[in-house]
Amino acid sequence: MDFGYTEDQKMIAELAKDFAEKEIAPHVDEDEENHFYRREILSKMGELGLLGFNIPEEYGGNGLGWMEAVAALYEIAKVHTSWRLSVSGNVWGPALTILEYGTEEQKQKYIPGLCSGEYAGSFAITEANSGSDVASMKMTAKDCGDHWLLNGSKMWISGGHTCDIGLVYAKTDPAAGAKGVSCFIVDYNETTEGVSRIPIHKKVGMWPAPTSELVFEDVKIPKENLLGPLNKGFQICMWMLNNTRMGCATGAAALSAAALEGAVQYANERTQFGQPIGKFQMIQQQIAEMKLEDDAAKLMVFRAAWLKENKLPSQQATSMAKLFACNAAVHGANMAMKIYGSYGYSDEYPCGRWLRDAKQFETLEGTSNIHMGIVAGIELGYTPNR
């Protein structure tokens, strides 16, 4: 097994790293302080082709696959993990799902703009009382002959109030449980009447990443905006999540790496008792623990990407990568704050941001408990590994 990048993957990783250092890094502190979403960064990512992974060139994609995508996203998220949401929100959510399930008209209309950054994307599943239990959602879509009528609300939607295009999941047969969910493409530039998009400002972390509550009151959606077969939305949703969870896994592994790099640098710079604190065994133990978990997380992420690249069953590997990288990020950020000491608790260093941002991975796109269940269920033979 080859553990190195190909020349193309190296170029993509270097391109993404250069972009992140020049376009994202200079604004991190300001955007964190102001909870500010810098929309132009998304457009610039699109211009460089960093939103076109896994999408054929005929639809505006870059024609590159999972390995290149993860290599690029890893470098971006290492600088500021809030921006890893752009890839999931644009590409692995709406664009890739429309590519898989959409009509030719839908593909031509929406995918190129999502890849270029002209459109910001999102997907809306979670509700106030429906999280891990997706099939219990209450939002409905009623067939009114020449249009669909959406009623209900969604909660904790990444990019919900800043996006142009979103996938929205709703019940088209409320009595049928998982077999009564359908998926709809909502064009927020065309559909505004009856839609309320409310920013959620009070969050522990991910401050520059927009998060929203969406309220739909008798919102008319064109009949042609149904994505995929009627009442097959649950299957579409699970297929989509197996892709977008790669964004979570990659972002968590990148945050783990950022915390490790920062801790190593600080341990070599900070002196106590006449020597760098990295010379003390307790600090070395912390660094060693971080390194072990960080390497394992990165390998799991790229293993899952390789399986996807080669069209092999990847659901278990993706959940393992997301779960382990999440644990590595949380533990690594916590260790970094300890190594930095009192300075780790100040805004002068990024330890607080690392820890705040790491915690969201334990919930986002499947809680850690859910992913434990997926891994165990597949291993025990209770569910197939898709």
Fold of 7-119: Butyryl-Coa Dehydrogenase, subunit A; domain 1 (1.10.540)
Query: Which CATH number is associated with domain 122-231?
Result: 2.40.110.10
Where do the CATH 2.40.110.10 domains begin and end in the chain?
122-231
Count of beta carbons in the 10 Å neighbourhood of residue 367: 15
The DSSP element (H or E) to which 327 belongs, if any, is helix 315-340
pLDDT of residue 1: 57
Q: Are 100 and 93 in contact (CB under 8 A)?
A: no
Greatest C-alpha distance within the chain:
79
pLDDT of residue 192: 78
pLDDT of residue 142: 97
CA distances (Å), origin 370, targets 95, 129, 190, 243, 366: 25, 16, 36, 16, 6
Where do the CATH 1.10.540.10 domains begin and end in the chain?
7-119
Beta bridge partners, 140, equal 151, 171
Q: Are 291 and 260 in contact (CB under 8 A)?
A: yes
Positions marked active-site: 365
Distance of CA 100 to the CA centre of its chain: 19
Q: What is the pTM of this model?
A: 0.96
Name residues of the chain where pLDDT drops below 70.
Answer: 1
Where do the CATH 1.20.140.10 domains begin and end in the chain?
235-379
Q: In angstroms, rounded to a whole number, what is the distance separating the alpha carbons of residues 93 and 114?
A: 10
Fold of 235-379: Butyryl-CoA Dehydrogenase, subunit A; domain 3 (1.20.140)
Contacts of 157 (CB under 8 A, 6+ apart): 122, 123, 124, 126, 166, 211, 212, 213, 214
Helix, coil or strand: residue 2:
coil
